[in-house]
Every structure is written in structure tokens, then in C-alpha cells.
Amino acid sequence: MEIRISPSAREETTAAARYYEEEVDGLGKAFMEALRVGFRRIRKYPQASTLLRGDYRRHLLDRFPFGIIYRIDSDVITVVAIMHLRRKPDYWLSL
């Protein structure tokens, strides 16, 4: 299955990776690797993540307080947010 990442989710990813890298050298890279692992798991088991609202699902990242918010559209997985779990939890509903 193809994974498409929305522009706003890409911006969130960049901001989070930059923040972590500024905090600790190499942590931004570790965040990006956790995200890649999450995408691989979603691609392999798209229905396994927690159903949130409607067709939207959330996959939790290992080691970081982030979730990948996505929906499955036939043969495409659309990522709408890379959400920090402790900040405005439902903001992605307006995306």
C-alpha cells in the first residue's frame, strides 16, 4: 500500500525532528527512524491501529510521545497528522 503524507503532517515531522535534534544530538534522527518504523507497521497492518473517529486511526510511535493519524482509502494510506500526544489532541479534526 502506498502512504501519502499531507503537507501539514510533513511540516509537523520536520518541526519535531528539528526540535529533538536541537535538544540532543542524534535524537532528531532517532525520531525519524521511529517514524519510519511506524510507517512500515502501518503499511504491513493498516487495520491494526486504534480507530479514533470515523475512518481515522492512530498508530503510536515507540519512544516518542507522537501518533501517526491516518485513514485508509482503498489502496492508499493518507497520513493527515503527526500528532504530539500531549498537545491539543483533537486539532487534526480541522485539517
> What does the DSSP 8-state code read for residue 61?
P
Burial call 75-90: b when 16+ CB within 10 Å, e when fewer: eebbbbbbbbeeeeee
**Per-residue pLDDT tens digits for 21-31:** 999 999 999 99
Question: Stretch 57-66: mean pLDDT, rounded?
Answer: 95
Query: How does the average pLDDT of the chain come out, rounded?
Result: 91
Residue predicted with more confidence, 10 or 52: 10
Task: Label each residue of 11-56 as H, E or C.
Answer: HHHHHHHHHHHHHCCCHHHHHHHHHHHHHHHHHHCCCCCEECCCCE
Q: Check if the beta carbon of residue 82 is closer than 8 Å to that of residue 17.
A: no
φ, ψ for residue 92, nearest 5 deg: -65, -15
Question: Whole-model pTM?
Answer: 0.89
Confidence of residue 86 (pLDDT cuts 50, 70, 90): confident
pLDDT at residue 10 is higher than 60:
yes
Is the pLDDT confidence value at 82 over 90?
yes
Domains belonging to the chain, first-starting first, are 2-87 (3.30.2310.20)
